[in-house]
Structure 1
Amino acid sequence: MSGSLWLKPPTTGTPLPAIPPPRRADHPGRTTDPPATDPPGGSTPATAHPTGEALAADPLDELAVRLEEFAAVAVHPDEIAALLESDGMTDDHIRLTYGRADSFALAEDLYARVERRHHPAPARPPGGAWHTGLAGCLLRGLVFALPGLAYVLAAPLLAGEPGRFGLPGGTVPLLAGAVTGWVWNQALSHRAYTWLGLGDRPAAARALLTGAPAGALAGTAVSFAAAAPGEAPAALFAAGQSLYLAAATVLLVLGRERALLCALLPLAGALPAFRWDLPDPLRAALLLAALTASVVFAALVLRPGLRRGAAGRGGPPRAGSLPYGMFGLGSGLLVLQAGIGDTLVSGAGAVIALTLSMGPAEWLLHRFRGESLTRLRTLTTAREFRRAVTGTLVLCLGGYLTVLVALTLAATLAWPGAPWPTPPRLVTLLLVGTVLWLGLLLQAFGAVLSAAVVCLLAAAAQTLGPAAGPVAAGGAAAVLAVLTCALLVRPTAHRV
């Protein structure tokens, strides 16, 4: 995997509407004097406001009229409570004005007073900005997987004595640099996407301009520190890998997937290497061409970050990006462990399938979010919404796992001499895929810390006890499934 797996949010959302101001029945400039005596029939007169304007006998009736359009289509009182709190209504104000304990009690009364009705049909496509094209997501999946061809080209250049922990020579510095890059670039991607969400593209470019080179240096330093004597070629390749990860992150975050694909085209020269032996100078030239093109394209798109004042204000807190880096660490370790198979070829097939599946996974995540927003606008009860969202979740997860199985079988057929995956390994791969997809879904809804903790615990369990891999992945998948259902069946979770 390369670059950022952080799910890019849409440029527009569905903010809560503002509460309309109270409407005055009197003509401007006129005042209503309170009656001097009780009206006929003994009815209670309206209370006089200090300004002279009469108030309704029950202020809740007036508020219900003002909020009728929003409250009538709410599927749960919590949605109304969120609107009240967003308008600045405090509990003290609610107790004094409406005689209710807090915003939730007031919202429940409003929900009961207003008749349910369907939301009018949306003028734009269902889901709005959360409906994205399948072709773009497939392109991202392709650029995630293409860098794997670099390892095919570099394999003869890195050949040497057997390495540590029973792995081929040079594996440790390569893995150390890759994991460092995943952690750093996930956190950096979140920070840059936050700037983009604020509408400040030059500030996002500035964040990438300073963060991407720092990540490349960190990955290089870790790779050389982890290299043993005789593993200098692998450490040098890991340095180039760190530089590529930094450049790919820049291009993916700023939406330049096509430029990254063009930069990776020289790696297609690895395809003949599956059957024929290529000269070492040609292998090195193809690797350098892809790396140079990636860095040049990244430098070109970072020009807005050079403007004076870009990212000049404080910006989002850096600590907020740390959980995203931790999720990158956990998910990256799970993918690496899924690739440690009985043979190098079978392990590589699992990694290829997982990386290629990230494109369809991203599209299905967008699809789930878009369908959920559509259901929020068209359904009228919380029970209907829970059932619809649960069904959509099952369909999207099932679709992703189906794609993952198809890609695994395709990678097995395309790789010469690759063995068919055994049922236990296929089950483990599907469990890892479930963990990754649910983790990305929770990350998209802001629950990234929970996803990161679960992924890290599962990765640690597999590292300490490789035989417990299926159990660890299954436990992580079950925990994430419970967290997902608990969070996403609530309508307020889908108000962005």
Structure 2
Amino acid sequence: MSGSLWLGKEGQDTLPFIPRQRPHAAAPDPIDELAARLEELIAAAVHPDEVAAILESDGMTDAHIRTTYGRQDSFELAEDLYARVERRYPPAASPAADPWHTGLPACLLRGLVFALPGLAYVLGAPLLAGPPDGFGLPAGTVPLLAGAITGWAWNQGLSHRAYSWLGLGDRPAAAAALRTGAPLGAVLSALVALAASGPGELPAAGFAAGQAVYLAAATVLLAMGRERDLLCALLPMAAGAALTVPYDLPEALRTGLLLLSLAAAAGFARRALAGAAGGGGADDDRPGPRLAASVPYALFGLGTGVLVLYAAVGEVLADGAGAAVAAPSAVALTLSMGPAEWLLHRFRRESVAGLRASTTAYGFRKATVITIVVCLSGYLAVLFALTVVGTLLWPDAPALGALRLTGLLFTGMVLWTALLLQSFGAVRSAAAVCCTAGGVQVLALAAGAGHPRTVGPVVTGAAAVVLAGLVGALLGRVTAHRA
């Protein structure tokens, strides 16, 4: 009752007991707990967007983030986490193998086997004799170009399919794709060359058919890593072409040397496929690469092939001379593909190193731009040197004028940046730009719009600017290099 006292122990009067509030630690911050759990991943990030991608891959929705962490979305939470964790890149437990390491001699060998087939035109000159055609080109040029472009497009797509199987660890399946696709490509290219030949160009169509068989065999050998076999197959033809300079070889001997190299290349290709056959795939139940995935690579081969051929044929039309005028440009571009491949691998290596060393997105973008400029400048310097040497050594070569050199360097810039985009998976963009540039040049040539020596630099210069923008937009993102 009111006013009464509580009866305590042994009848003593006591005040009522009031529980004392016990001190307790503050509740842990859930963001700190999340930062501790994801510390290694966050520390390796160079931009908050990378952290946001980690959160989304962890299954966190915006509703969960608002309820649990008190942030509006994954991007706001990522910025908070990024600010709480110090930047560092965790060192590897042991030196990791560099997937982008490749030796310069191997790339130079590939550049050599790309360029040596051009000597076949020197050896087979009697098969291409005759008056100029309706376009003002040397006899047989149209069927040769038609067959070559068809073969490049087909074999580029076929190579992608073979490399896709090899990337899955299924070498027998890659060999099976090549065994089926290479003969089909040779037949298709030969038929296109025959359809494009005019009156009196049947020998040129036969030469184009041999060219188609060689391209098919070379595709097999390059995909299977048999560059040395291909080089050995080309030696008889190369030796014969060298002998035509001091000696006038009989036509029968010329044809025999061409057929010998062709038979050797086909024989080596057949042996390479036989050695890779059998044994079954790595996983017979696993779905293989889609055929449609190789179509952009075929279009890429079409576009780049047209650009290279225009760089050569444009010289013929500009000077009104024979095919020898085109040789220095064509040889320089094909030989430069070896150093270009090595520089592409070097860029991939340097970009990975820059990714590990950078602590901010700006720092990474700056390092990437510098590496691109260095590699592209190195390639253009190689192309320039090859062009100068080829012009000085090749008989009856035209003078190295400013327009010719500019067009050739722009073409080289387009090829290298397009190959760079392709190596990062952006083959559709690269193919679209190259096909558009090649198509504009062909249409201008067919319509007689502008001088070939002027049209080339304008079109390839515009394409180079577009590709440079695409390279900057794609490769400035960190995620492109970690994909």
What is the TM-score normalised by the length of structure 2?
0.87
The aligned counterpart of 1:145 is 115
Which amino acid in 2 is paired with 1:193?
A: Y
Which amino acid in 2 is paired with 1:474?
A: G
The aligned counterpart of 1:200 is 170
Shift of 1:98: 4.4
Question: 8 Å contact 1:327–1:448 — kept in the other structure?
Answer: yes
The aligned counterpart of 2:464 is 477
**Helix, strand or coil: the match of 2:99?**
helix
The aligned counterpart of 1:307 is 278
The aligned counterpart of 1:320 is 293
Runs of 4+ in 1 over 6 A off after TM superposition: none
Alpha-carbon separation, structure 2, partners of 1:92 and 1:208: 51
Taking the TM superposition and a 5 Å limit, the aligned residue runs for 1:33-48 are: 40-41=22-23
2:262 to 274, 291, 295: 291
Alpha-carbon separation, structure 2, partners of 1:144 and 1:445: 23
Shift of 1:44: 5.9
1:459 to 424, 433, 438: 438
2:106 to 124, 129, 136: 136
**Helix, strand or coil: the match of 2:370?**
helix
Instruction: State whether structure 2 residue 127 is matched by structure 1 residue 157.
Output: yes
Q: 1:480 to 1:39 in 2, by over 3 A?
A: farther
Taking the TM superposition and a 5 Å limit, the aligned residue runs for 1:248-397 are: 248-268=218-238, 269-303=240-274, 306-307=277-278, 309-310=280-281, 313-340=286-313, 341=315, 342=319, 343=321, 344-397=323-376
Alpha-carbon separation, structure 2, partners of 1:308 and 1:89: 45
The aligned counterpart of 2:204 is 234
Instruction: State whether structure 2 residue 50 is matched by structure 1 residue 71.
Output: no
**Helix, strand or coil: the match of 1:165?**
coil
Find the structure with the greater CA-based Rg.
2
Structure with greater contact order relative to length (CA < 8 Å, sep ≥ 6) = 1
Q: 1:186 to 1:88 in 2, by over 3 A?
A: farther
Alpha-carbon separation, structure 2, partners of 1:180 and 1:96: 60
The aligned counterpart of 1:173 is 143
Which amino acid in 1 is paired with 2:378?
A: G
Instruction: State whether structure 2 residue 84 is matched by structure 1 residue 113.
Output: yes
Alpha-carbon separation, structure 1, partners of 2:295 and 2:426: 13
The aligned counterpart of 1:10 is none
Alpha-carbon separation, structure 2, partners of 1:39 and 1:475: 77
Instruction: Please list the CA deviations of residues 188-209 of structure 1 after superposition, one character each: whole Å capped at 9, or x if unmatched.
Output: 1111111111121111111111
Q: 1:330 to 1:38 in 2, by over 3 A?
A: farther
Shift of 1:123: 4.5
Instruction: State whether structure 2 residue 414 is matched by structure 1 residue 429.
Output: no
1:124 to 95, 103, 116: 95
Instruction: Please list the CA deviations of residues 276-333 of structure 1 after superposition, one character each: whole Å capped at 9, or x if unmatched.
Output: 2111121111111111111111111112564275495531111111111111111110
Shift of 1:97: 4.9
Alpha-carbon separation, structure 2, partners of 1:99 and 1:304: 62
Aligned residues between the structures: 448
Alpha-carbon separation, structure 2, partners of 1:90 and 1:226: 60
Instruction: Please list the CA deviations of residues 134-177 of structure 1 after superposition, one character each: whole Å capped at 9, or x if unmatched.
Output: 11111110000000011111011221232231111111111111
Alpha-carbon separation, structure 1, partners of 2:26 and 2:256: 91
Which amino acid in 1 is paired with 2:296?
A: P
Instruction: Please list the CA deviations of residues 72-125 of structure 1 after superposition, one character each: whole Å capped at 9, or x if unmatched.
Output: 122112333344444555556555654555544443332122111355378537
Alpha-carbon separation, structure 1, partners of 2:171 and 2:195: 36
Question: 8 Å contact 2:128–2:204 — kept in the other structure?
Answer: yes
Percent of residue pairs identical: 63
Instruction: State whether structure 2 residue 428 is matched by structure 1 residue 441.
Output: no
The aligned counterpart of 1:5 is none
Q: 1:228 to 1:124 in 2, by over 3 A?
A: same
Choose 467-476 or 398-407, whichever is displaced more.
467-476
Taking the TM superposition and a 5 Å limit, the aligned residue runs for 1:18-57 are: 40-41=22-23, 57=28
Alpha-carbon separation, structure 2, partners of 1:38 and 1:230: 112
Q: 1:74 to 1:219 in 2, by over 3 A?
A: same
Alpha-carbon separation, structure 1, partners of 2:327 and 2:65: 61
Alpha-carbon separation, structure 2, partners of 1:410 and 1:376: 38
The aligned counterpart of 1:26 is none
The aligned counterpart of 1:34 is none
Question: 8 Å contact 2:127–2:207 — kept in the other structure?
Answer: no
> Which runs of no fewer than 5 residues in structure 1 stay unpaired?
1-36, 46-56
Question: 8 Å contact 1:78–1:492 — kept in the other structure?
Answer: no
Q: 1:437 to 1:38 in 2, by over 3 A?
A: farther
Shift of 1:59: 3.6
Alpha-carbon separation, structure 2, partners of 1:137 and 1:39: 77
Instruction: State whether structure 2 residue 383 is matched by structure 1 residue 404.
Output: yes
**Helix, strand or coil: the match of 2:130?**
coil
Which amino acid in 1 is paired with 2:262?
A: L
Question: 8 Å contact 1:338–1:429 — kept in the other structure?
Answer: yes
The aligned counterpart of 1:33 is none
Alpha-carbon separation, structure 2, partners of 1:304 and 1:90: 52
Which amino acid in 2 is paired with 1:162?
A: P
Q: 1:204 to 1:390 in 2, by over 3 A?
A: same
Question: 8 Å contact 1:454–1:476 — kept in the other structure?
Answer: yes
Q: 1:60 to 1:204 in 2, by over 3 A?
A: farther
Question: 8 Å contact 2:146–2:196 — kept in the other structure?
Answer: yes
Question: 8 Å contact 1:174–1:223 — kept in the other structure?
Answer: yes
Which amino acid in 2 is paired with 1:300?
A: R
Alpha-carbon separation, structure 2, partners of 1:353 and 1:122: 44
Which amino acid in 2 is paired with 1:369?
A: R
